[in-house]
Every structure is written in C-alpha cells, then in structure tokens.
Amino acid sequence: MKVLIFNQYSLIGGGVNSVAGTHIKVLRTAGVDVKEFAYHNSNFVKRSSLEKISDLTAVLRKQFCLNKFQEVINSFKPGIIHFHNIHSFFSAPLWDLIDPGGGKIIQHLHGYYPFCLDGTLFRNGEICLNCLDENSFLSGVKYSCYDNSKLKSVFGYLTRPSPGEFVKKSQSCHKFISVSDFTKSVFVNRGIEESKIVTIPNPCSFQSTNTSIKSGKYFLFIGALDKIKGLKIIPELALKMPGEKFVIAGEGKLKEFLKNASLKIHNLEVKDYVSGNNKAGLIANCKAFLLTSIWWEPAPVSILEAFSFGKPVIASNTGGLPELISEGATGHLFQSGSVDSIISKIKLLNDNLASNSAYYNNNCLAKASRHTEEAFLQNLLIVYKELMGNNGK
C-alpha cells in the first residue's frame, strides 16, 4: 500500500499539525510506504515581496504547487492520497485539480474552512452561518472575517468555491474523515453524502511517561490564544475565585490582553508557548484542564493530552466537546460563555477531588487509552482497505 499525505502546516504548532505528523509516523511504523507533500507557511513568510506576489498569483490561477504535486503523484503512484489542511493556498480544492492516477482521495475535516472564510463559523461572539445560508462568501468579505482582514477575506473569496460548489466538488473525493460526530453532522446537513464521511477520533501522541498522578495546584489552558477559545472569561473567573490559580500558556492575538490582565490579577499567570517537557510539567501539576471555547470546537487534542496525565477537564458544552467528556467521570461541561456555570462546575470538581480523586484519574486514563496511536492506525487502515479493495492488502 502506498499513501501520499498532503498538509499545509500552520506557523504555530497546533492540533492539525500534530495529527498529520502522527498520521505519517503510525503508517511508517506499520510498514506502509508513505510519502509526504508538505507546504509550511513559515516558508511563505520568509519569501521576498516579489516572490510572495508570484506565489499568490499562482494561488489565484489555481496553479500553486500543482505541477510539483502532480509529478509526485505520477512518480509515486499512491493508492491513497490523503489531505489534511489545504487552507488557505490549496482551497480550490487541490484534490479537484489533480489527476489521481487511480489513487483514492481522502479529505480530513479538521474544521469548517469549506463553509467559512475563517474556518470557525463564528463572528461577533456567536455562531455565524451567513455564508452557508447565502451560499456565498460575500458576507465574510463584508465583515472581514478571515483573520480580521479585508484583503485576506477578498483573497479567500477569490480562491475558494462557494459552500454549495464545494459540496458539488465533493463528488470527486472518495472519502471524508471527520474528527467528531458533531463536525460530521455539519457537513452532512449541508449536503455531503453521509456515507462518504466517517468519524475517526484524533489520536493522542503526547502522553505521560509517569505512572504516578500528582495532585494539582491550578486550572490550566494550553493552546491558541484566540477569541474563539473564550479566554477573556478567565480573568473574570480568576477575580471571582481568588482562592484558585489559573494558568494560560500559548501564543495568539489575545496574548497582550491576557498578559496585561495577569499583571493586575494575582492568581492568573500567562506563559509563552510550551512543548515537550515544559508542557508535560504544566499538565502533570495542574488540578484540571480548562477549555472555555465559544465556537463549535471539533475535537481538540489538548483534552486527550490532559486525560493521558489522568487530569479531568472542565469544558464548554459546544461542538464536539461533549463527545470527549463524560459528565462527572472525566470532567464537567458548563454552559458556554457563562462564568457562573464554570464556577459551579469548579466547585463540584473540587468537592469530588477531595472525596475521591482516583475516580477522575482512572476514568481519564481509560478514556485516553481509547485514543492511542494504534487505535488511530487501525481506523485509518479500515478506511484505506475499504477504498482500495483487493489492492489494499
């Protein structure tokens, strides 16, 4: 079996980058012949102004990296061509422009980019379905939705098919893989055949190597410091719960706001992006992981990472999060955007930790064990073999 994997890597490491990397690793470990075609956004940042103009012109003409990618397909002759992130330079979508040469095309659905310029279906503090309902990205341009930039929004409008056109083009894709049942429902409800979408939960590659579980000292968030994460509520939460400590780690547009807030709030600490041992140390010493997302969060890997350390999660009841968290067993779900709801769940968790912390710990570890790399691999192979038939043996 030959598998060609495509991914456009974001500047700041995130869940999609992690899943794509794990995907390649597990297939190679299983003896599958894998080739990756990667485009790193960091390369574009380093380009000269003239080179950037040339690249963007190629994107507009739907030619960017197309010949190179086609050459790889022709020489490698993959049985499976698996796409992860294709936004924003390959949103045509790329798989509709190539000659797969008999290879079966799979698109991983990590978010909502085919239906939203910013990929979040979120605007002005609430879920927004304007572009979906209007079958046009003109609303996205009007409100500068893509990265809060009019220019980027116009570029997205010119380089992406409308939501309805994407659904039509989906006929040339053999399978879609969704990371949660909720995300799958969004695409099915908008016209993609349900039989073409299979849910495969994200794997957790970042796991604790220590079998002992420490009692935690603070509530922790690690991830992108973005408006959709609902992080502006955490300083308010810290003020209302002075006896608890809150730690936020990451990079993003809310970094300055959160840093300034932490200077005035004694029990709020904001750290830079963390990885490796620093990340492991933060998770191992936390009381619980806190996820305050206000968008339809598909399936964050960060929750699984917390579970792998035996740490419960307190998260908003939005998107695919209820699929990951069993109320009272691996954590608690609160009403998205409600400080009072978060406070009540924190108090409940504290009471339960005081009486039987092992209950949370064991349930979290058990949940993490169902999201291993091996489970991810086996789910992928089932899809691959189904598509390839006898050629997939």
Looking at mean pLDDT, say which of 314-323, 364-373, 382-391 comes out highest: 314-323
Angle between helices 233-240 and 339-369 (to 10 degrees): 110
Mean pLDDT, residues 15-41 = 95
| Confidence grade of residue 366 (pLDDT, cut at 50, 70, 90) | very high
3-state SS class at 141: helix
pLDDT of residue 320: 97
d(CA 62, CA 93): 9
Mean pLDDT, residues 157-172 = 96
Closest by CA to 389, choosing from 82, 102, 70, 75, is: 102
Mean pLDDT, residues 287-307 = 96
291 DSSP β-pair partners: 315
Tokens of 305: 């990472």
pLDDT of residue 133: 96
Classify the C-alpha dihedral 188-191-193-197 as positive or negative.
Answer: negative
Given a cut of 90, whether residue 288 has pLDDT beyond it is yes
Q: Which helix (H) or strand (E) holds 361?
A: helix 339-369
pLDDT of residue 26: 97
Given a cut of 60, whether residue 6 has pLDDT beyond it is yes
36 DSSP β-pair partners: 5
Tokens of 250: 């990451």
105 DSSP β-pair partners: 81
Task: Output helix, strand, coil percentages for the chain, rounded to the nearest 5.
Answer: 50, 15, 35
Phi then psi for 106, rounded to 5 degrees? -125, 135
d(CA 84, CA 81): 10
Written as one letter, the residue type at 66 is L
**pLDDT tens, 56-78?**
999 999 999 999 999 999 999 99
**pLDDT tens, 76-106?**
999 999 999 999 899 999 999 999 999 999 9
Question: Quick one: 67 exposed, middle or buried, by C-beta within 10 A (0-12, 13-18, 19+)?
Answer: exposed
**pLDDT exceeding 90 applies to what percent of the chain?**
91
pLDDT of residue 356: 86
**pLDDT tens, 308-357?**
999 999 999 999 999 999 999 999 999 999 999 999 999 999 999 988 88
d(CA 296, CA 283): 24
Alpha carbon of 232 to those of 236, 258, 292, 341, 361: distances in Å?
7, 8, 9, 15, 29
| Confidence grade of residue 208 (pLDDT, cut at 50, 70, 90) | low
Given a cut of 80, whether residue 205 has pLDDT beyond it is no
d(CA 354, CA 148): 44
Beta-carbon contacts of residue 212 (< 8 Å; ≥ 6 apart): none
pTM (global) more than 0.85? yes
Given a cut of 70, whether residue 390 has pLDDT beyond it is no
Given a cut of 80, whether residue 144 has pLDDT beyond it is yes
Degrees to nearest 5, angle at CA 219 with 216 and 225: 140
C-beta separation of 209 from 277 below 8 A:
no
Domains of the chain: 2-203+373-392 (3.40.50.2000), 219-369 (3.40.50.2000)
d(CA 219, CA 217): 7
Given a cut of 90, whether residue 204 has pLDDT beyond it is no
pLDDT of residue 207: 64
Q: How many CB atoms lie within 10 A of CB 333?
A: 21
Give the CA radius of gyration of the chain. 21
pLDDT of residue 102: 95
pLDDT of residue 14: 73
| Confidence grade of residue 214 (pLDDT, cut at 50, 70, 90) | confident
d(CA 232, CA 110): 24
